[in-house]
């Protein structure tokens, strides 16, 4: 806008100057050239904001890790400032108050609950589609499916909509009564409760995979993605105002992360090493979930359909503010910028791996239309 105002002022000065010298016949063409230059500058697509304050939790975001390590953000003219938070709720509070620009590791329920309460956020991309979150029980327990949860003690916050949704699919109108949900603030406490026999099952976080895979006392029954495919583990969101004021920045973020996802899918072993170093963890710890291609899936795609499904389940189970009845969740999911960025990345970087970009286009059509 400043460039456009400057261009107009320059044009005005030229018109006045030329009129005083008897050169008025050229003023209109000169004005047109100046306005055309201003428009070209406006449409260059340069990021409006070049430093993005980002919270990606203590577990990090492997696509961000790769995009920083390989210089993909730099290629797009942006840089990332990591802003830590103690919990998902803290990250979203910082987002709502403008202390961070982007959050990518706060799940899906949390941002949806914020939106329902009146916070103006927009989901524009994604991180984990499925987060390799195992359900564990005492060793020797037989698992038949989500029907085994009925009437049992399940250490899981019922706002994890994959499970309440699955219980409703079994025909139970009130999943909160069909299962005895026991909530712990720490996954390790939930794990201990299984070992002590205080609960029948417990949902574990992504970071507990290494621990439970090496325990003799428990067995993994299933993973959350077995209960609900593409359930949407973590979305990428920002304030709606930030997105509206920085569309080129948002697209630059997406293009860089698409390249990072492409690299990740072809270089898993290196990705494990890079990410372990980034989050100061042992490689075995990261490999325990990242090498599970079936249950650990990352994607920049916004997953509109999955977010809409989550919103509906959370509403039916009472985990959204009453204000949600007046909100169209589609107004808080922006897929247009992702679609544009995907097309731009395909044109700009598609030769690096044509099959990947074709796959991402197909995935987008399947999960957002």
User: Can you give the pTM of this predicted structure?
Assistant: 0.87
113 touches 314 (CB < 8 A): yes
| Residues forming beta bridges with residue 121, ordered by sequence position | 239
Kindly list the distances between the CA atom of residue 198 and the CA atoms of 36, 154, 181, 324, in Å, as whole numbers in the listed order: 71, 10, 12, 35
pLDDT of amino acid 31: 43
pLDDT of amino acid 279: 96
Q: What distance lies between CA 328 and its chain's CA centroid? A: 20
Grouping H, G, I as helix, E, B as strand and the rest as coil, residue 125 is strand
pLDDT of amino acid 89: 74
pLDDT of amino acid 86: 75
**Mean pLDDT split into 10-residue runs, the chain, 369 residues:** 35 33 38 40 79 95 98 98 85 96 97 97 98 98 98 97 98 98 96 98 97 98 98 98 98 98 98 97 98 98 98 97 95 98 97 97 97
Question: How many CB atoms are located within 10 Å of the residue 362 CB?
Answer: 10
CA atoms within 13 A on the CB side of 47: 21
Q: What is the DSSP string of 50-108?
A: SEEEEE-TTT--HHHHHHHHTTHHHHTT-EEEE---SSHHHHHHHHHTTS-SEE-SS-S
């Amino acid at each position: 806008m400043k460039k456009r105002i400057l261009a107009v002022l320059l044009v005005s000065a030229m018109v006045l100057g030329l009129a005083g010298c008897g050169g008025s016949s050229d003023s209109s063409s000169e004005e047109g050239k100046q306005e055309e230059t201003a428009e070209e500058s406006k449409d260059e697509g340069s990021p409006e904001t070049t430093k993005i304050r980002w919270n990606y939790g203590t577990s990090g975001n492997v696509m961000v890790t790769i995009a920083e390590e390989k210089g993909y953000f730099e290629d797009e003219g942006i840089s990332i400032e990591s802003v830590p938070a103690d919990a998902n709720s803290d990250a979203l509070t910082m987002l709502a108050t403008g202390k961070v620009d982007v959050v990518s590791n706060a799940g899906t329920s949390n941002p949806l609950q914020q939106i329902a309460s009146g916070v103006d956020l927009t989901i524009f991309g994604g991180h984990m589609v499925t987060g390799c979150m195992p359900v564990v029980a005492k060793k020797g327990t037989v698992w038949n499916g989500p029907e085994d949860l009925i009437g049992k003690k399940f250490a899981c916050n019922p706002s994890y909509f994959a499970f309440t949704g699955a219980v409703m699919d079994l025909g139970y109108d009130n999943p909160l009564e069909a299962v005895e949900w026991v909530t712990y603030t720490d996954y390790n406490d939930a794990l201990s409760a299984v070992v002590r026999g205080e609960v029948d099952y417990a949902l574990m976080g992504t970071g507990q995979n290494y621990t439970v895979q090496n325990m003799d006392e428990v067995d993994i029954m299933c993973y959350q993605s077995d209960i609900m495919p593409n359930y949407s583990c973590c979305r990428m969101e920002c304030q709606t105002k930030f997105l509206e004021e920085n569309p080129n920045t948002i697209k630059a973020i997406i293009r860089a992360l698409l390249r990072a996802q492409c690299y990740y899918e072809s270089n898993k072993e290196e990705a494990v090493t890079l990410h372990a170093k980034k989050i100061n963890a042992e490689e075995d710890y990261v490999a325990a979930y990242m090498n599970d291609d079936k249950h650990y899936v990352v994607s920049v795609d916004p997953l509109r359909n999955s977010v809409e499904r989550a919103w509906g389940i959370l509403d039916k189970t009472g985990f959204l503010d009453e204000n949600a009845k007046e909100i169209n969740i589609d107004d808080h999911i922006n897929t247009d910028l992702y679609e544009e960025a995907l097309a731009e990345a395909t044109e700009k970087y598609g030769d690096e791996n044509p099959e990947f970009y074709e796959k991402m286009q197909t995935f987008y059509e399947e999960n957002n239309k």
